[in-house]
Chain A
Amino acid sequence: MVRFENVGLRYGMGPEVLRDLTFSIEPRSFQFLTGPSGAGKTSLLRLLFLSIRPTRGLITLFGHDVARLSKDAFATLRRRIGVVFQDFRLLDHMTTYENVALPFRVQGRDEDSYRNEVIELLQWVGLGDKLSALPPVLSGGEKQRAAIARAVIARPQLLLADEPTGNVDPELAQRLLRLFIELHKSGTSIVIATHDVALMDQFDAPRLVLDEGRMRQYRFVHDYD
Chain B
Amino acid sequence: MRPTLLGLYATLIYVFLHLPLVVLAIFSFNSSKLTHWQGASLIWYQTALTDPALLEATANSLIIATFSTILATIIGTLAAYALWKQKARWITASLSVSLVTPEIVTAISLLALFQIIFRTLSLQLGMHTVVLAHLSFCLVYVVMVILARLRTMDNTFEEAAQDLGATPFEAFWHITLPMLKPGIIAAALLAFTTSLDDYVITSLVAGVDSETLPMIIYGMARRGVNPAVNAISTIIVVGLGVLIVISQRLEQRT
Do A and B bind? no
Hey, which bits of chain B sit against chain A, CB under 8 A?
none
Hey, which bits of chain A sit against chain B, CB under 8 A?
none
